[in-house]
Amino acid sequence: MSTNTWFSALKKSAVAIVGAATMLSLASPAAAAQPQPDGEVGVQVIGGTRAAKGEFPWMVRLSMGCGGALYAPQIVLTAAHCVGRTGNNTSITATIGVVDLQDTTATKIRSTYVHRSPTYGTSTGGDWALIKLASPVTNVKPLKIATTKEFDTGTFDIAGWGDTREGANTGSRYLLKAKVPFVPDTTCKGIGGYYASLIPAAEICAGDLANGGIDTCQGDSGGPMFRKDNAGEWIEVGIVSHGNGCARRNAPGVYTEVSTFASAIAAAAARI
């Protein structure tokens, strides 16, 4: 993946935290090259700090180098660019229940099936996918997803095991977290260049335009962008998708707008 263009689109497959600036960078699939059959490593969190064990229990690390969130006891929600085509798939291992990837208490479950959004790569957008696990996770409450645009604004949280600086390609042993502000569609698209192809109905931008320094990055792809709802519970509003580099000024991360695809996600989950 080109560090100059973040695959020109796919930016969030692996999450990490950038050292000096402690920045979060999102790796996303925007302008992305076609992923490998079993997905590809993406971006990680830059400008973040370590998450505490149990703080985000629904966070999932996928063996192809992406992140995800537990959508249902036996289903993980991730990015379409992280996986191959829809169908039986036993090649992915989901790691759940730890923040340190070397923690031997982690729950590890193999995949059995993958559903890849049929609209991914089209003008409609849809960088999301579901991974069915061989057995349910019984000790973790799944992360709710937004079904309306009510929560598609404000300050969001991001987390992942991706790179801590652009171009590192190493990932992070520990789960890192950070906060990023919402960037309106008109502002994001108005940046031009890489962002001129933003799909406002399907994507949502977030990042510190003036200063940079906080973002998701390679290895973070597929992980959730989330915030609290009116009841004080975590809710997923975005999926790490792509971006122009990691944590650059005037270059926000681009996330799949979950509320746009909530009904399609629910329907697919019911089928698998």
Residue positions annotated with a catalytic role: 81, 127, 221
CA dist 15 and 37 (Å) reads: 20
Residues 116-136: b if buried by 16+ CB within 10 A, e if exposed: bbebbbeeebbbbbbbbbeee
Query: Using CA of residue 28, residue 29, residue 33, residue 38, what is the dihedral sign?
Result: positive
- Closest by CA to 82, choosing from 254, 204, 271, 219, is 219
Tokens of 184: 């309106």
CB-CB contact of 215 with 246 (8 Å): yes
SS (H, E, C) 167-196: CCCCCCCECEEEEEEEECHHHHHHCCHHHH
